[in-house]
Amino acid sequence: MRITPKQKALLTFVCNFTAENGYAPSQREIADHFGWKSLGTVQDYLKKLEAKGVLKKEWNARRAIEVDHRFVENFMIPKESVSVPLLGKIAAGRPIEAIVSSEERIPVPKEMVRNGSFYALTVEGNSMIEDGIFEGDYIVVRRQQNAENGEMVVALVDNSATVKRMYRQKSRIELRPANETMESFYVKPHEVKVQGIVVGLYRKY
């Protein structure tokens, strides 16, 4: 499942409008916000997002648009933010590259980074889509070298970085994707280094 930038923008508008007003926007309000003249354009976007399982729409109701609860916080724009360093790309798939230093910074919600040292990485791939993480998103990571079973980690394997949920087994580590079309891969404990725990996600348009 791939969410395009325009689809992300629509979802963000729906989430923030609903949070501020207590009800979802109408199709006309969505069209006015984006400068679309035709309600058919709105309906086309909604149908595609409904087919992807991200939102639900009752077509005989004026305001019955509901974003799947798993994704609501991911699509909302933070009102207060601080900046964290953007250290490169991370694979939501097979490992692709080591984390590198960078002068670039991005804004993230202030409440997301209260305690500890944090950085951000750009996601490539679609192995974590069932956790609401899509290609092009930024994940926010707290630096630490240990993790509990089931936590989403940034891990180095053969000096390449990947984001997965980690599970310790008797003699190996399972790095599990959140995509039913993909399989876990397994490494020996000494072959993986935890670089941090994913604490949140941010989208930039």
Report the relative pairing of strands 138-142 and 118-124 from DSSP bridges: antiparallel
Residues belonging to the active site: 127, 164
Q: How far apart are alpha carbons 147 and 131 in whole angstroms? A: 18
pLDDT by residue for the chain (205 residues), tens digit each?
Answer: 677 878 888 888 888 887 777 778 888 888 998 888 889 999 999 888 888 888 877 655 556 687 766 666 566 555 567 788 888 888 776 665 556 666 688 877 777 787 889 999 989 888 888 888 888 888 899 999 999 999 999 999 888 889 999 999 989 999 999 998 999 999 999 999 999 999 888 765 4
CATH code of domain 81-202? 2.10.109.10
Domain boundaries defined on the chain: 5-75, 81-202
pTM: 0.61
Report the relative pairing of strands 105-109 and 138-142 from DSSP bridges: unpaired
CATH code of domain 5-75? 1.10.10.10
